[in-house]
Structure 1
Amino acid sequence: MSRIRSLMPRASALRTALLAFSLAILPSAAVFAANSGSSGKEIPLQQLIDEAPPGGTLKLAEGTYRGPAVVAKPLRIEGANGVRIVNESDQPAVELRANRSALAGLAIRDTGAKTTAAVLLSGADSTLENLRIETVSSGIHLRDASRNKISRTTVSWAGPDVKMTEKGNGIDLYASHDNVIANNTVIGMHDAIYIENSNGIRVEQNEVNESRYGVHFMYVNDSSIRSNIGARNITGAMVMNVNRVEVTSNTFVKQSENVNSQGLLLFDASDSVFTDNRLEGNRVGIFVEQAQKNVLERNRVTVNYVGLQLKESENNRFQGNDFQGNVIPAEATDSQNNDVKANYWDSFQGIDLDGDGFSDMPFAINPFFQKMTKTTPPFQLFFQSPGMAFLEGMLTSSKQAWTTDRAPAMKPYAADADRPPGAFETTGTLVISLLLLGSAVTTIFVTGVRRK
């Protein structure tokens, strides 16, 4: 009996040791490594997913894997350098249906024509990171998917040179709330980042180029577009049918190759804030239509054809913005009760008698040219001509209804804004003017030929 008692502490110690050993190996048991990807053949990705444990990590070795594949359980799929997923089907290359899933470090080439995307996410609390997606459809779709994050991912068009309307969107969200889209690059898609019927969205520090709209919000509330960069799109940021949206510290340049190009467009936007954005070299810097109760402050609007275009909008606040080097500083029609003050207009010569830094004379935005060219576009040929200036000066009977900056700033706000225009800015203004002249001459010529 005493011998049996003497063995009990040893048995207890053995059980403790076994328990500690089991706990030590459990985390590694959740990692399933696929080492057959470098065999020279395309390995079916679905088979490896099915074999991986729920809640674990599937690590893909270098090689080529074949889609389509569906992830219906919590799973993280990681790729080493050289991991490539190819898909020629009409299904997504990878579809994440389960919550708490992830794709990381994968190159996905999706060449199957489809109405869906290369990656389809319909779960929650998942991540897509460090992906390289080449597609002939759309890049990423989120559908009824909340609290996810897309980061450090590149989406680009891999198909033939087709019309922009025949391409899909780069990153596309529908009915998907509280998602983060950060540090991604989208090139050459229909809309680079498209958000519809989704709230609580953060679009931050992305680069969006050569697409129709760089960032496109439709029916979006309580969301933000911050610190993004866009170039050579038709429109940098298209913000439509939104409430309580923040658009700040973005840079949109060279949206000028289309007659409808804008750096920033607000349509039916309300109770939103647009601050500290840089709009340069666009056809229209900021276009505002049917918008109300918004704040636009400290935006730098330079070297555009039209700096600000305001239409059928009311009760907005425009304050502390810099307008420099624009061919037309501003145009405004059918817009009432807007609070416009303390903006800098380089084409306006004010008088500051009390030395407070603001002009004692207001700057009234003459709508004559905008109204005339709207009904007869070829009249753009006469922009800034002596006759046009004379007519603008004569037709002032309704001046009290014009949008007016009641106290324009005497100096620009930006630290480097008072420097002489650089070569790019001077050339950009000249090119825009020449393009406008050519367009007007062509229109007049064609109209004349047709009338004959």
Structure 2
Amino acid sequence: MKRAVLMMVSIMGLMASNSLQENLLQQAIDRAESGSKLELPAGEYHGNIVIDKPLIIDGVDQKAKIVGDGNGTVVTIRSSYVTLKNLTILHSGEEHERVDAGVSIKEAEHVTVDNCKIDDCLFGIDMEQVHRSRITRNWIRSKPFTLGLRGDAIRVWYSNDNNLSYNHVTQSRDFVVWYSHGNVIAHNFGEYGRYSLHFMYAGKNEVLYNTYEHNSVGIFFMYSQDTIAIGNVVKSSLGTTGLGIGLKDASNFTLKDNTLIYCARGIYIDRSPFQPDQNNTIEGNKILYNSEGIHFHSLSISNNIVGNIFKGNIEHVVDDDKVTLHSVKNFWDRNYWDDYEGFDKDNDGIGDTPYNLFYYADKIWLLNPNIKFFYASPIISIMNFLARLAPISQPVMLLKDAHPVMYEKDLEKGVVQ
């Protein structure tokens, strides 16, 4: 589609005090020629508008407010080549069944929503079959409901090849990417939500340099493949469901240079990779001060776990499989373990003996959760000491890293590869 030449359309008359009584903004949109630009002066404009032609609406410094009537969606876009920028968008409806949103975009291409403040809207930006579009630099908050009743800040549904970057999401429910491929999600910040980023049946997406704090779940990839997650920071994902990055039935993934800190579980791996002929790569991540560094659930083998830093975790690795431990069937190499007890006589930065992680008596709670009540109690500590001093049975091997890195700084500086 060839983009029309832009036209400047003056709508200073919308500043009249009765502008909220009549939807003069919708009238201006209806009168505007395709490809026009509407510059909105500071003030309030009646919402629940529909844009069905290529158009630019510029609010200039977010001082132009489009206010919904509390019923339905505030701005509905049903055309390609539409741009919303520098606007404040407020007060959608409250119906999940209708997906009441600040901005709804459907069956369109080359749409831009940039530098908008979207507040008191159940869903922030809803995208359905939207391709090659840009959602950038927006500030989004849902309605003041309990967590499960809020809407999603950004909802990407059957939408491909979009750029969603530099958005600030707070006090919403989820940021979801479902049945969508080839999207770039980068440099976003999310806080006080449920899933700060949730993928379902998605592939070939790039998740780069996002920061997520105080959410139930940082980044969760489900039934997805062929995706990279690089340089993300996930902090303080706590509670019974708390985790930094999760892989569920996920194949051909690369998790690299991410920081998982102060989470209930840093990385959660469930039946991943799912495809039997594929691997996942977990490389160069900082897994710090979590209750569990990596948690394996169900059959999860063929993961390459290389060059990561395991430091300050209560348990570096947990495998909850009660029949056959699968974590040992992954490839572990050149990781830094803060509890490694070996030496480096030749000063090459690699331990002279492998790092072996066993289940001793203090780990029996992993195989029987009821025993967790006694975790860190004197009796468990004594049992563990005796098991290490004079074991009466062979401990269970959890993993073996043949080349443990001696110094954390060597991995940080890239001295050891």
* TM range, smaller chain: 0.7 to 0.9
The separation in 2 between residues aligned to 1:189 and 1:226, in whole angstroms, is 21
8 Å contact from structure 1 (residues 283, 304) kept in 2: yes
Among 142, 145, 156, the alignment partner of 2:130 is: 145
Runs of 4+ in 1 over 6 A off after TM superposition: 414-417
SS at match of 1:386: helix
Check if 1:34 corresponds to 2:11: yes
Partner AA of 2:128 in structure 1: R
Question: Rg bigger for which structure?
Answer: 1
Partner AA of 1:343 in structure 2: N
Among 197, 201, 204, the alignment partner of 2:179 is: 197
Report the TM-score when normalising by structure 2: 0.87
Among 265, 274, 290, the alignment partner of 2:255 is: 274
- Shift of residue 218, structure 1, vs aligned partner: 1.2
Any stretches of 5+ residues in structure 2 without a counterpart?
274-278
Check if 1:100 corresponds to 2:74: no
Check if 1:360 corresponds to 2:357: no
Q: Which has the higher helix share?
A: 1
- Shift of residue 109, structure 1, vs aligned partner: 0.6
8 Å contact from structure 2 (residues 246, 269) kept in 1: yes
- Shift of residue 112, structure 1, vs aligned partner: 1.7
Q: Where do residues 300-379 of structure 1 align in structure 2 (5 Å cutoff)?
A: 300-311=286-297, 312-332=299-319, 333=321, 334-335=325-326, 336-367=328-359, 372-373=365-366, 375-377=368-370, 379=372
SS at match of 2:224: strand
Among 153, 163, 170, the alignment partner of 1:187 is: 170
Q: Where do residues 119-268 of structure 1 align in structure 2 (5 Å cutoff)?
A: 119-122=103-106, 123-157=108-142, 159-160=143-144, 162-191=145-174, 193-256=175-238, 258-268=239-249
- Shift of residue 113, structure 1, vs aligned partner: 1.2
* 1:49-69 deviation line (CA, Å, top 9, x unaligned): 101111111111221111211
CA gap of 1:219–1:388, structure 2 versus 1, over 3 A, is: farther
Any stretches of 5+ residues in structure 1 without a counterpart?
1-25, 418-452
The separation in 2 between residues aligned to 1:310 and 1:59, in whole angstroms, is 54
Partner AA of 1:190 in structure 2: R
Partner AA of 1:64 in structure 2: E
- Shift of residue 127, structure 1, vs aligned partner: 0.5
* 1:172-227 deviation line (CA, Å, top 9, x unaligned): 10000111100000001111x21000000100000011100111111110011100
8 Å contact from structure 1 (residues 46, 70) kept in 2: yes
Partner AA of 1:253 in structure 2: K
The share of aligned pairs that are identical, in percent, is 26
* 1:361-396 deviation line (CA, Å, top 9, x unaligned): 222333465663453345243237423524764476
The separation in 1 between residues aligned to 2:392 and 2:95, in whole angstroms, is 56
Check if 1:382 corresponds to 2:375: yes
The separation in 2 between residues aligned to 1:395 and 1:130, in whole angstroms, is 65
CA gap of 1:374–1:109, structure 2 versus 1, over 3 A, is: farther
8 Å contact from structure 2 (residues 287, 308) kept in 1: yes
SS at match of 1:255: coil
The separation in 1 between residues aligned to 2:386 and 2:79, in whole angstroms, is 66
* 1:67-120 deviation line (CA, Å, top 9, x unaligned): 211111111111134200111243211111111111111101124212312211
The separation in 2 between residues aligned to 1:167 and 1:287, in whole angstroms, is 25
Partner AA of 1:297 in structure 2: E
The separation in 2 between residues aligned to 1:78 and 1:249, in whole angstroms, is 33
SS at match of 1:189: coil
Partner AA of 2:127 in structure 1: L
The separation in 2 between residues aligned to 1:396 and 1:139, in whole angstroms, is 57
The separation in 1 between residues aligned to 2:341 and 2:402, in whole angstroms, is 13
Among 385, 389, 408, the alignment partner of 1:412 is: 408
CA gap of 1:310–1:362, structure 2 versus 1, over 3 A, is: farther
Q: What root-mean-square deviation, in Å, do the aligned CA atoms of Structure 1 and Structure 2 show?
A: 2.2
8 Å contact from structure 2 (residues 293, 310) kept in 1: yes
Report the TM-score when normalising by structure 1: 0.80
SS at match of 1:387: helix
8 Å contact from structure 1 (residues 243, 269) kept in 2: yes
Partner AA of 1:150 in structure 2: I
The separation in 2 between residues aligned to 1:416 and 1:246, in whole angstroms, is 20
Q: Where do residues 47-62 of structure 1 align in structure 2 (5 Å cutoff)?
A: 47-62=27-42
The separation in 2 between residues aligned to 1:259 and 1:377, in whole angstroms, is 15
